[in-house]
Amino acid sequence: MDDISAEIDRLVTELNRHSYLYHVLDAPEISDEAYDVLFRRLRELEKTSGYVPHASPSLRVGAAPLDKFDKAAHSVPMLSLEDTFSFGEVDEFDRRVKKLLQTDDVAYTAEPKYDGLAVALTYEQGRLIRAATRGDGTTGEDVTQNAITIKTIPLSITGTDIPDLIEIRGEIYMQKADFDELNRRREIDSQPLFANPRNAAAGSVRQLDPAVTAERKLNFTCYGIGKLEGLTLSSQTALIAWLKRHLFPTPWRFKSAKAIGEAIEYIKYMETVRDGLPFNIDGVVVKVDDFGLRGRLGEKTRVPRWAIAYKYQAHRAITRIEAIVPSIGRTGVITPVAILAPVSVGGVTVSRSTLHNWDEIQRKGIRPGDSVLIERAGDVIPRVVEVVEHGTASDIQVAEPVVCPECGSRAVREEGGAVLRCIGLNCPPQLQGRIIHFASRAALNIDGLGEKVAVQLFECGLVKNITDIFMLKREDLEKLPRFAAKSAVNLIKAIEASKAATLARFLYALGIRHTGEFVSKLIAAHFETIEALYGVDIEALRLIKQLGGKTSAALSEFFADDGNIRAIETLKTLGLALSNPDYGADSDNKGKLSGLAFVITGTLPISRKEAEGQIRGAGGTVSSSVSKQTDYLLAGESPGSKLEKARALGVKILSYDEYLSLL
């Protein structure tokens, strides 16, 4: 083995160790930056040598999209569990087990019942070769390409006592905070929201494009085995110890219980802490520890006789709705909120509950004065499940607001959409997000005003709206904690420089819905000045061929708002030139890429779908793998193996910026 291969192997081992410390143990030894340095070094060496080990973390970025999943048969069926809801039933389970086994000497294990989806991971000679969903228990789907993007799933088993074949079973799930963040982003992008972390996890795993799965924050925990060859494990306790030793994530607070009473104590304990856990659990699984005894107990139709699930009750209560008021979130979405007569739900006093959207109020017939059933699942905000009884005021109509409750700008609903939004540029709850977007690289590109600094400036009150950015003084910045004199000077310089931004960039920076970089350029090509857009009507916009109905509507609504126009005028007086070199440029891209074959790899600033749409719209084709027929490989961040292939075949590689100028 040469020096490079040896260094690659060393880096893979080292990076996997740090990934385990970070993702599984939550106890990193090095900073994210230090990890990135090692990771980049690995990618570089892999690229020059062409040697990519099976366990390399560089394989986790997501392979090419699939057309469909292959079927995956389970040679040992993946069973379900019998549900129980009382300690009496748990005792009953214990008695049944002992009677069947004709012994009182039975030890159990207890572990959380994770609320996600079951998968089986097959390792042959220590290498992950397949990941399959449970499906109907006999046949699932092959989701290997997606599973390898999950950082806590080991790509290979290292160390001693590695079996010839092992099928490890466990649950893929999403943490509550990651679920909230995912839905927040989806809301911004007008994508349908996931109902709960379990649906989000399942949707992310059953995703034909592994690059999308790679972006989702998924976790894994192991709780069982299917096939096993070349190693003997005699109990659940031994299995969990073996898994831990081989760096697999295992159930939180796994417990070996000498008797059923200990398992019941564990169930009680879990119930007291479950709301505070970072992930959702819907109960506890109690299992007979010894695998030999399990074999003697066998199974019923679809459930084993050696395990049960104890399910916790959802936290529910009945109370009265006192009022329904609009509330605006950080993304500008205005949702109806029910003000409730305070009630204790699972030990927490609840006095507000989201009603999601205005259609749901109509659909469920919810009115002030109604008695409603509310539910609190884990950390998740309480929701109204149903109306139990209509109150006397049930003839009061709940009207959808026409203006934003915070800033008074117009509240608009997208055609066919359920979501009501405020379009105010300087709407307080939205400002933090707006400032971050405004200063971002593709927008006004204010170097030094990234997310962290934007939040800091917003929180200390120096930047209360977009225009405040241009009134910042060096002296103000220098007074801030963690703000070095040099960064203050640099930031002021960057803000000055950003005043020269073109109209297209400025339009993009405004964060108008559906108005990405591409649309912004298109608008700048057709409208010479920003003033020409003031009060623009949909019809005028629809003359631009490539502009969709929703985009035209969003633009015309934005520029119909007096507050928005005033804010733009102020920005002009503060020195924003808004020159427009794009005006008159042939923005009709039809045919620009005609006959050209594209392949996309890595993460782009826009979604894959959007990029594909643009390429096809301009006459190009997009395929999933690089071949001699490929004209361009459009490479985003963290490109996959396609990059090497393109290099080897001499295919031209385009950065996103180069691609934009090609368009």
Residue whose structure tokens are 């002992």: 98
Q: Which one among 15, 52, 63, 81 touches ligand IVH, defined by CB under 6 A?
A: 81
Distance (Å, rounded) from C-alpha 663 to C-alpha 245?
Answer: 53
Residue 77 interacts with ligand IVH (CB under 6 A)?
Answer: no
Distance (Å, rounded) from C-alpha 412 to C-alpha 409?
Answer: 9
Residue 415, classified by CB atoms within 10 Å of its CB into exposed (0-12), middle (13-18) or buried (19+), is: exposed
Residue 307 interacts with ligand IVH (CB under 6 A)?
Answer: yes
Give the interface segment with ligand IVH, choosing from 25-33, 107-115, 270-278, 528-536 (CB under 6 A): 107-115
Rounded to a whole number of angstroms, the minimum distance from the CB of residue 114 to ligand IVH is: 4
Q: Which helix (H) or strand (E) holds 120?
A: strand 117-124
Q: Name the residue nearer to ligand IVH (CB basis): 153 or 366.
A: 153
Q: Name the residue nearer to ligand IVH (CB basis): 113 or 505.
A: 113
Q: Name the residue nearer to ligand IVH (CB basis): 79 or 600.
A: 79
Rounded to a whole number of angstroms, the minimum distance from the CB of residue 176 to ligand IVH is: 16
Rounded to a whole number of angstroms, the minimum distance from the CB of residue 581 to ligand IVH is: 57
Give the interface segment with ligand IVH, choosing from 32-40, 304-312, 344-352, 380-388 (CB under 6 A): 304-312
Rounded to a whole number of angstroms, the minimum distance from the CB of residue 241 to ligand IVH is: 16
Going by C-alpha positions, the residue among 110, 75, 443, 467 that lies closest to residue 255 is 110
Give the interface segment with ligand IVH, choosing from 75-83, 99-107, 426-434, 564-572 (CB under 6 A): 75-83
Residues 438 and 509 sit within 8 Å (Cβ to Cβ): yes
Sign of CA dihedral 118, 123, 124, 128: positive
Residue 34's CB: how many other CB atoms inside 10 A?
12
Rounded to a whole number of angstroms, the minimum distance from the CB of residue 174 to ligand IVH is: 14
Strand ranges, E, within 30-95: 71-73, 82-84
Give the interface segment with ligand IVH, choosing from 5-13, 74-82, 360-368, 418-426 (CB under 6 A): 74-82
Considering CB under 6 A, how many residues would be counted as binding ligand IVH?
Answer: 16
Residues 598 and 632 sit within 8 Å (Cβ to Cβ): yes
Going by C-alpha positions, the residue among 206, 118, 207 that lies closest to residue 168 is 118
Q: Which one among 166, 200, 211, 309 touches ligand IVH, defined by CB under 6 A?
A: 309
Give the interface segment with ligand IVH, choosing from 109-117, 120-128, 272-280, 490-498 (CB under 6 A): 109-117
Q: Name the residue nearer to ligand IVH (CB basis): 113 or 521.
A: 113
Position of minimal CB gap to ligand IVH: 118
Going by C-alpha positions, the residue among 326, 310, 329, 317 that lies closest to residue 376 is 317
Q: Name the residue nearer to ligand IVH (CB basis): 81 or 554.
A: 81
* Residue ranges in 251-280 that form contacts with ligand IVH under rule CB under 6 A: 251
Q: What are phi and psi of 625, to 5 degrees?
A: -130, 150
Q: Which helix (H) or strand (E) holds 572?
A: helix 562-573
Residue 226 interacts with ligand IVH (CB under 6 A)?
Answer: no
**DSSP letters for 396-427:** ---PPPSB-TTT-PBEEE-TT-S-EEE--TT-
Give the interface segment with ligand IVH, choosing from 25-33, 111-119, 340-348, 612-620 (CB under 6 A): 111-119
Q: Name the residue nearer to ligand IVH (CB basis): 295 or 416.
A: 295
Q: Name the residue nearer to ligand IVH (CB basis): 111 or 167.
A: 111
Q: What would the two tokens of residue 360 be? A: 């749901």
Distance (Å, rounded) from C-alpha 126 to C-alpha 529?
Answer: 63
Asked about 98 being catalytic, the answer comes back as no
Catalytic residue among 113, 151, 176, 521: 113
Residue 312 interacts with ligand IVH (CB under 6 A)?
Answer: no
Rounded to a whole number of angstroms, the minimum distance from the CB of residue 115 to ligand IVH is: 7
Q: What would the two tokens of residue 425 be? A: 């540029």
Residue 285 interacts with ligand IVH (CB under 6 A)?
Answer: yes
* Residue ranges in 316-375 that form contacts with ligand IVH under rule CB under 6 A: none
Q: What residues are paired with 323 via a beta bridge?
A: 339
Residue whose structure tokens are 């190009």: 620
Residues of the chain by 3-state class (helix, strand, coil), percent to 5:
40, 20, 40
* Residue ranges in 112-151 that form contacts with ligand IVH under rule CB under 6 A: 113-114, 118, 134
CA dihedral of 482, 484, 488, 494, whole degrees rounded to 10? -90
Interface residue list for ligand IVH (CB under 6 A): 79-81, 111, 113-114, 118, 134, 171, 223-224, 251, 285, 304, 307, 309
List active site positions: 113
